[in-house]
Every structure is written in C-alpha cells, then in structure tokens.
Amino acid sequence: MDKLVIHGGHKLQGTLRVSASKNAALPLMAAAILPRGVTFIDQIPHLRDIVTFSHVLRITGASVNRQRQGLEIDATRVVFPEAPYELVKKMRASFYMLGALLGRCGKAKVSLPGGCAWGPRPVNLHIEGLKALGADIDLEQGYVVARVPRGGLSGGSYRFEPSSVGATVNLLLAACLGRGGSRIENAAIEPDVIVFCDMLTAMGAKLDGIGTRTIEVEGVDQLHPIKFSNCPDRIELGTFMIAAAIAGIPGDPVLITNAQPDHLGQEFLDAFQRTGCFYKIDKDTITITPPDVLKPISITTAIYPGFPTDLQAQWTILLSCANGTASVTDQVYGDRFNHIPELYRMGLRAEVNGNTVTVHGGHHLTGAQVMSTDLRASVSLVMAGVVADGTTHVGRIYHLDRGYEQLESKFSQCGINIHREQYNEFENPPQG
C-alpha cells in the first residue's frame, strides 16, 4: 500500500498545472457508449477512477484504449448491458451505466452503488426520474434492473428535489435516445453537466435549456460518434488555490495554469478573496498572491454556483492557518467530516456540531501518522502536512489517487518536501 510522507514548513513557489476534470470525464465516457462507433475524448486524466470506469465500459463489450492524453472508446459492439457490484462499489459514478445502457440497449442491470465513506448517498432521484420518463425499474438482489418500452423511452417530465448532478446525467443519457420528449426540472447546472450536455449535442442529441434548471430533450433514433475535448478540473483548481494561500510566501505570486476559474462559482472566489488572498485571472492562468495573515472566513456549501462541497475539507485547513475562528457548514452532505478526527491527531482545534465544524485557527499543526478515508479528506491531510511542523505520513492514499493526478510531483516541483513510499499497515509505526 502507498503513503505520502511530507516534511512540513517548506514554502510553495512557482507554477502548478491543473489536470483535466475527473467529474466531467466520467459522464463523457458514459456518453461514448451511446453511438455505434469510435469516439475520442481528449484530455482524460490518469486517475484510478478513470481506470475503474474503463473496466466498467469494457464489460459491456466496448473497447477503451488510452491514446495520448485521451481515450478512444469503440462502442460498435455493446452486447452486455450490465455493471457489476464489484466495480460499481469501487466508484459510485459507475451508476451512470444505468442511463447509458438504457439509452443504448433499452435495458440495463446495474448494481446499486452501496455505501460511501460518508453518506447517505441515495439514488432515489435516479430511479424515480427514469420511471417518470417511462422506464420499467425493479430492484433485484442489490441490482437495479431496468428496461424501456419497445422503441425507446416514451418520455415524460420529472422535477429533482434536491438538484442532483448524477441523476441529471443519468436521465439525459437515457432520454436523448428515445422516441418521446422529456423535461427535466431543477436540473444540475454544474460545469461538469454543461460540458456533458455539449458532448451529447455534438453527437446529435436534441437538448434545449443547457445550463439552465430546465432541460427539454427530444429523443432521436441514433447519435453519431465524435472527437471531443474535456475541461480542466475545477476542484483541483480550488485545491491548488487554497494550497497557495496557506503554503505560499506572502507577496510572492504562485501561478496556476490550465485553469477555468468560472467553473468554481462566484461563492468560492468571493470567499477566497475575503481571506485577504489576492488573485488575478489572465485567460487560463490564475495568479495567487498570499497575504501576510489569512482572515478566518466562514463558508457554507451549496450546489453550483454555491461553494463546492468538494472543497470544504481543504477550506478547513485554510481556517486552521487563519488568524481567528470561523466555520465550515456542509449543506450538501451533512456528515462529510471524516478528516476531522485525523486532523485532531495533528493538533487541529475544532468542534463538529451537526453539519458544521468550527475551526480555531492561529495554532500550528504538528506532523503525525494519519489515514485517508475518502478522496477530498485525503488531500486535506496532505495540505495539513505541508503546513505542519515536523513530518506527516498520510496512509491509504489510494483514495487520493482516485482524483488527483501526480499530486506529489506537482507539489515537489514547487518546493514542497513530499514523496511516496510503500508501507505495510501492520508493521511498526514509522520513525520521525
């Protein structure tokens, strides 16, 4: 098993490059099995989630091959409309296969995603929404078994409450190939969903209202394969901005390239500026200039364009470095705080009360042995190690490898003392 070893106190200087988006890549890959033929998606990051989803696609009969910075997906033959538990449990976005296989094959047998490091993470909106569009759905021994009437989904309308990225993607995957018209209300408008809708449109799907809360879909007989390019990862961008704020040298600019700051939403950008951290956007480069002292700015997460829940753990580390007390409230997931007990081991002064963590900043963290529990928790532990006194060992970084491409090499090229090591969890604890 791998861990990251970080010797804290080194300053972050120079340029960080954002990789392509994980959360946009996954729906794009699902869409690639809708047309019969070879689709090329450029800018696909080298991540564990991409490898897992590639296996999920191959099981249906499609082929998936890495070509330069992208993936070539040949969906000429999609003959096995199933997604097995062993893979879906590893990555819940595999649940997109429900909509994709319904759209392509008119039937699907997809494992329910099962648990998550935090939760609950229900899929009721996916199932109720597909039923509303005309799909027949049963639950059989942990699997969703779905089929559409002969000729494709008849169409219908459904209103999400709350708005859901995954459920919006699943309904669009099923509805764009069908014979009826569908109307999705309170649809997700995250940038990942808009990029996905742009790909469907390029394939010949008939969508109206992309980027708004109401999307109208007119089913078509077939879609055609295309070449399409993915967008940069907005959550990695936000992560790097926070890392620059806490580990940069006051007054010394850090450059972040291949950035698309508007994908972060104004809430995050405003909160970031209120910490006293200056940022300047110049096309796809954002320059971050850290202040002498960070101000403690409280945030509350919300669906886009609100403050992203995927950045709340990282913001907690910023608050630990700020001069004063502030809070992080997660309104999207009520209990996404598994990183807090690990941060207590590093001296974090904070209290969790329901879906809010109150952080008392201005006290140095100290290095310790800590363990990742999920993707964004793991990156917050790495960021804590960067600013802590002493050495931090972050274990189980297979969680990190799901969503951050070559993080340790990106950070070490900017002056951070971080390296990867293999270890055995049952051996003696590391020295120093």
Catalytic residues: 116
User: Of 39, 48, 9, 41, nearest to 407 (Cα)?
Assistant: 48
Q: C-beta of 374: minimal distance to ligand EPZ in Å?
A: 7
Cα separation values, 151 from 105, 155, 219, 354, Å: 11, 11, 11, 48
Cα separation values, 119 from 85, 115, 273, 412, Å: 18, 7, 31, 33
Interaction between residue 134 and ligand EPZ (CB under 6 A): no
Contacts of 282 (CB under 8 A, 6+ apart): none
Sign of the dihedral defined by the CA atoms of residues 51, 53, 59, 65, in that order = negative
Q: C-beta of 263: minimal distance to ligand EPZ in Å?
A: 12
User: Of 236, 243, 244, nearest to 261 (Cα)?
Assistant: 236
The residues that bridge with 329 in the sheet, in sequence order, are: 300, 356
Q: C-beta of 80: minimal distance to ligand EPZ in Å?
A: 23
Q: Segment contacting ligand EPZ (CB under 6 A): 160-168, 216-224, 253-261, 419-427?
A: 160-168
Site string for ligand EPZ, 11-50 (x = CB under 6 A): ------------x--x------------------------
Interaction between residue 410 and ligand EPZ (CB under 6 A): no
Q: C-beta of 23: minimal distance to ligand EPZ in Å?
A: 3
Residues 60-89, interacting with ligand EPZ (CB under 6 A):
none
CA distance 131 to 117: 28
Cβ burial 345-376 (10 Å sphere, 16+ → b, else e)? bbbbebeeeebbbbbbbeeebebbebbbbbbb
Q: Segment contacting ligand EPZ (CB under 6 A): 11-19, 117-125, 258-266, 268-276?
A: 117-125
Q: Segment contacting ligand EPZ (CB under 6 A): 163-171, 195-203, 219-227, 354-362?
A: 163-171
Interaction between residue 165 and ligand EPZ (CB under 6 A): yes
Q: C-beta of 340: minimal distance to ligand EPZ in Å?
A: 17
Residues 181-200, interacting with ligand EPZ (CB under 6 A):
188, 192
CA distance 5 to 8: 10
Cα separation values, 297 from 72, 90, 384, 430, Å: 44, 35, 18, 36
Residue (5 or 397) nearer to ligand EPZ, CB = 397
Interaction between residue 121 and ligand EPZ (CB under 6 A): yes
Two tokens at 355? 């879906």
Residue (142 or 162) nearer to ligand EPZ, CB = 162
Q: Are strands 299-300 and 325-329 parallel, antiparallel or unpaired?
A: parallel
Interaction between residue 162 and ligand EPZ (CB under 6 A): yes
Q: C-beta of 372: minimal distance to ligand EPZ in Å?
A: 12
- DSSP secondary structure letter of residue 93: G
Residues 270-299, interacting with ligand EPZ (CB under 6 A):
none
CA dihedral of residues 254, 256, 262, 267 (deg, nearest 10): -40
CA distance 66 to 62: 13
Interaction between residue 251 and ligand EPZ (CB under 6 A): no
Are 247 and 416 contacting, i.e. CB atoms less than 8 angstroms apart? yes
Interaction between residue 403 and ligand EPZ (CB under 6 A): yes
Interaction between residue 122 and ligand EPZ (CB under 6 A): yes
Interaction between residue 167 and ligand EPZ (CB under 6 A): yes
Q: C-beta of 244: minimal distance to ligand EPZ in Å?
A: 20
Which residue number is nearest to ligand EPZ in terms of Cβ? 166
Interaction between residue 310 and ligand EPZ (CB under 6 A): yes
User: Of 81, 96, 3, 102, nearest to 49 (Cα)?
Assistant: 96
Interaction between residue 93 and ligand EPZ (CB under 6 A): yes
Q: Which residues bind ligand EPZ (CB under 6 A)?
A: 23, 26, 93, 121-126, 162, 164-167, 188, 192, 309-310, 332-333, 375-376, 403
